[in-house]
Homo-oligomer: A and B are copies of this chain.
């Protein structure tokens, strides 16, 4: 599991110093299932730190990504971050357009895809976008009679 302690241990073992901000980041991401935009992270952090600056958030997100703790995905409205999934079990995601939470898809289309021999595959992306159960219910509750 990706517990707070896991993340902190990982950063510490790579020579990073464990500051309060980084502890808070570890907590935030260990508790969040979905993708977070830098702005959202900044706002969350801002609750705990008065003199917080945007660039430090960016710096830490970047560091944690390079360290392999986080992964970044580029959406239409900018890059977002989430905890890096274990490489062990390769999978893809369903992503809720409302709340941003992700749900794993174990099926990998690459097995079924007929790639010509002369195309050297490096990586692939398979993402399903839509609305999760909770958000669908909320929606129908809000609009319903």
On A, residues with C-beta under 8 Å from B are 74-76, 94, 96-97, 103, 105, 107, 109-110, 112-116, 118-133, 136
Closest Cβ of chain B to A81, distance in Å, is 14
Total copies of this chain within the assembly: 2
Would B94 and A118 count as touching, CB distance under 8 A? Answer: no
The interface residues of chain A, by DSSP majority, are classed as strand
Would B127 and A131 count as touching, CB distance under 8 A? Answer: no
Most B C-beta atoms less than 10 A away, residue of A110, A126, A132 = A126
Closest Cβ of chain B to A122, distance in Å, is 4
A133 to B75, CA, bound (A): 29
Would A126 and B123 count as touching, CB distance under 8 A? Answer: no
